[in-house]
Amino acid sequence: MDFTIISIGTLPANPLWGERLIVRTGHATTTLVRSNAVGEASKPVNILVDPGLPGPAMVARLGERTGLEPDAITHVFLTTFHPETRRAIEVFSDAEWLISPREREWVGVPLAQSLGRLAETQRAAEAAGETLDEDQQRMLEVLRRDVAVLQRCKPAPDKLAEGVDVFPLPGVSPGCTGLLLSGRETTLICGDAVATAEHIAQGKVLPSCEDREQAKESFAEAIEIADLLVPGRDNVVVNPTRRPF
Question: What CATH number has the domain bearing residue 83?
Answer: 3.60.15.10
Q: What percent of the chain has pLDDT over 70?
A: 99
Note the pLDDT of residue 244: 57
- 168 and 198 in a single domain? The answer is yes
- 145 and 178 in a single domain? The answer is no
CA 229 vs CA 13, 46, 105, 110, 210: distances in Å? 21, 20, 27, 32, 22
Yes or no: say if 90 and 60 are a contact pair by the CB < 8 Å rule.
Answer: no
- Decide if 194 is inside a domain: yes
Rounded to whole angstroms, how far apart are CA atoms 70 and 57? Answer: 12
- 170 and 216 in a single domain? The answer is yes
- Decide if 243 is inside a domain: no
Note the pLDDT of residue 242: 78
Least confident window among 36-40, 45-49, 152-156, 168-172 = 36-40
Helices within 87-237 (DSSP H only): 101-127, 134-152, 197-202, 212-225
Note the pLDDT of residue 243: 61
Structural domains in the chain (count): 2
Strands 2-7 and 154-155: unpaired
Q: What is the pLDDT of residues 75-84, one digit of tens each?
A: 999 999 999 9
- 64 and 181 in a single domain? The answer is yes
- 187 and 233 in a single domain? The answer is yes
Query: In 3-state terms, what secondary structure has residue 46?
Result: strand
Q: What is the pLDDT of residues 189-201, one digit of tens each?
A: 999 999 999 999 9
Domain region containing 61? 2-100+156-238
Note the pLDDT of residue 245: 45
